[in-house]
A = this chain, B = another copy of it.
Amino acid sequence: MLMKWCLFLVMLSARLMLMAEEVVSPNGQTRVSFYVEDGRMTYEMWYKGRLVVAPSHLGIELINWPSLMEGFEMEGVEYASFDETWQPVWGEETSIRNHYNEMAAHVVQHLQPSIDVSLSAPRHIIIRFRVYDEGVGFRYELPRHANLDNVKIREEHTEFCMTADHTAYWIPGDYDTDEYEYTISPLSAIKDLEEQARTENATQSAIPAPSTQTSLLMKTADGLFINIHEAALVNYSAMHLVAPPTAPEGASLEMSAEAFVAPSGAERGATFLLESHLTPDARGMKGYLRCPATTPWRTIIVADDAREMLASRMILNLNEPCKLSDISWIHPVKYMGVWWEMMTGASTWNYGDYQPVDIYTTDFTAIKKSPRHGANNDNVRRYIDFASKHGFSQLLVEGWNLGWEDNWQKHINYSFTQSYPDFDVPALQQYAREHGMRLMMHHETSSSIQNYERQLHDAYRFARDNGYDVVKSGYVGNIFPAGHHFDQWMNEHYLYCIREAAKYQLMVNGHEAVRPTGLCRTYPNMIGNESARGNEFMATAGCEPKHVCILPFTRLQGGPMDFTPGILEMDVSRVNPNNHAHVKATVCNQLALYVTMYSPLQMAADVPESYERYIDAFQFIKDVPVEWERSVYLEAEPAEYITIARQEKGTERWFVGGVAGRHEHTAVVDCSFLKKGQQYEATIYADAPDAHYLTNSQAYTITKKRVNSRSRLKIRAVEGGGFAISLRPKDGK
């Protein structure tokens, strides 16, 4: 490396400091260097002296202008440091430190001479690195030039050159869904396993090359954890990671210009190269930027202790501070829903029989009502009675609105302001209010973006005027008129909804939307997202036990997930006799998720009958809060186990959750997080010794125990099992 450096430095402009191409994190353990080699922008990254990212190229391939790939020369760098502690509106703790050293590397690109001087003028761009103790975020910053003004992106070629064949925890690349099981394999096996990992889903668009989605977790042979993701995905398409060998893409509509052919990682001896692959729009375009413009941050988080990865707030920190001036109306929510009964098929979203409907002309009162319509007044009141009795603040009701009879996307069939004849919005909200609750709004767009945006303001106004303050939105099916769930246009749509919803003081919980990238810091009314395979799959195909032991390392890095935990009746036929699925989890696994899967929006997803049946276990769901003072990551190993303790905001109560993945795990809960000298009563919900996530999943024990900060609790969780503890100070609040 040193020789290379020497050669390189000769080329540096003298305008700014020489040797200025390196930046280390505040405590020095993370280091990034940047240089130009043979005209190509290149970076490397070290963590505690170990090379994490081998020399990797940067570049963006354009369509309308010469690409930002080659012909670069270093101009110099600028340094900055930043240290600030900020208070999230909600989160895993009440304050977050944002501490980094920054390096803005200025490079200039010399183009081939052209008759038109303005076309061949040098182009100056910036690569900005923010180096944290736990990793780095970097982005491209494109100032405006006469020959770099409105940019069409063919592809971003950001490389992440891994140093060995790490173990990866990955889901297959897809332009439209991330609701996949995780596969655990060496990086080199992704290309062979990707097709079988792509299990069936409602909307899928395979990527032409073997690839994975972010956030991608890896583990090195010597125990280093590496996570690649992105932060602040705004006005850009979502990034995937292509594993070598990179397959050539088919030409698409506007791709007339000659494609740039980057030297492959393999050619450079980089066998374990991951390369960015953006989500195309319907025309095959990967992005449109108006310079000056910046890309999202490309993030690499590193830890030699898996718990530190869970504790990282780097993704949030790389996002801009809150842009909402009034946040008084934003608050966490614990809710129930008229939902699991539809998911399991016990009741229906649709009011009447399947038929073509036009929300503007169809006479819904004339439609023969299905006896199984879930969102009917009586049923909703029954849920309100139960949920209010047990302290929930909201009730989601799906299938309340006209249009479910003809759930064929690509048409305008859903109304977001007209309820079915058997669902009386004002009366039910009044009933809820009398019980100290609200209804939660549901907007299934069926990805008919045109239909949804046309109704958006009326829909939000309707929601606000009727006392709703949370909207769960859904994007099932192919995007209409055209595009992909994760393309630039759709990402803009999701954010548009968030911004507009804020004007109506509405929080939004988007399902099937793009994976979060920390934007909830900037828009804290983005109260939740799905964007991964959720508990709903338990109603049919199921999630494997390891799933919830991976999500906190991957999907949750970008923001909270509305995973909808709390299924206590694992025999689905007890909800719907015709559904013989079995939830792949124990009761205590489901309880633990309220702690291990952080979200300000937590659902108790099961039906009231199930909770009545397991009322003692249900107590934990009732007790566990959704606002936290502090979080302590006690144990963590991806796919195997996660144990987290969290202190309730404003109290001395603590809650501990532990989940076990593909093997049983005996947790050792070190209670040193507790207040010294204080005695606590612990209520411990644990798997019974003979519990099994498939054959004996409702076997649990509940014990009470007195503990203090010196206690160490040994608790065994079976495969797919878990435990939950609530800790209440004796004589305390």
Binding site for B on A (CB under 8 A): 144, 149-150, 281-283, 288, 290-292, 356, 406, 408, 410-411, 450, 453-454, 457, 480-483, 489, 493, 496
Q: How far is the CA of A410 from the CA of B488 in the complex (A)?
A: 11
Determine the residue in chain B with the shortest Cβ distance to A291. Answer: B356
Instruction: Contacts A282-B282, A481-B483, A482-B482 known; list 20 others, CB within 8 Å.
Output: A144-B356, A149-B356, A282-B283, A282-B482, A282-B483, A283-B482, A288-B411, A290-B408, A290-B411, A291-B356, A292-B356, A450-B453, A450-B493, A454-B496, A457-B457, A480-B489, A481-B481, A481-B489, A482-B483, A482-B489
Residue pair B450, A489 in contact (C-beta under 8 Å): yes
Whether A281 contacts B481 in the complex (CB less than 8 A), given A292-B356, A453-B453, comes out as yes
The answer to whether B356 and A290 touch across the interface, beta carbons within 8 angstroms, is yes
**What residues of chain B lie closer than 8 Å to A496, measured between beta carbons?**
454
Bound CA span A281–B253, Å: 13
CB proximity of A635 to chain B, nearest CB, Å: 46
With A450-B453, A450-B489, A453-B453 given, is the CB distance from A481 to B411 under 8 Å? no
CA of A291 to CA of B292, assembled, Å = 49
Cα(A214)–Cα(B436), bound, Å: 63
Taking the nearest CB of chain B, how far is it from the CB of A502, in angstroms? Answer: 14
| Complex CA distance for A232 and B454, rounded to whole angstroms | 24
Which residue from chain B places its CB closest to the CB of A283 in the assembled complex?
A: B482
Say how far A204's CB is from chain B's closest CB, in angstroms. Answer: 12
A288 contacts across to B, CB distance below 8 A = 410-411
- List residues of chain B with CB within 8 A of the CB of A282: 282-283, 481-483
Q: Which residues from chain B contact A481 at a C-beta distance below 8 Å?
A: 281-282, 481-483, 489
Closest to A496 in B: B454
In the complex, residue of chain B having the shortest beta-carbon distance to the beta carbon of A360: B499
In the complex, what's the smallest C-beta–C-beta distance from A499 to chain B, in angstroms?
10
- Point out the residues of chain B lying under 8 angstroms from A290, CB to CB: 356, 406, 408, 411
| Bound CA span A283–B205, Å | 13
4 nearest interchain CB pairs? A282-B482, A282-B282, A482-B482, A481-B489
A533 to chain B, nearest CB (A): 25
CB A481 to nearest CB in B, in angstroms, measures: 4
CA distance A686 to B457 in the complex (A): 57
- Closest B residue to A354 by beta carbon equals B149
CB closest chain-B residue, reference A457: B457
**A408: chain B residues within 8 A (beta carbon):** 150, 290
Name A453's contact: one of B144, B454, B480 (CB within 8 Å): B454
User: How far does the alpha carbon of A283 sit from the alpha carbon of B483 in the complex, in Å?
Assistant: 8
Q: A150 — which chain B residues lie within 8 A by C-beta?
A: 408
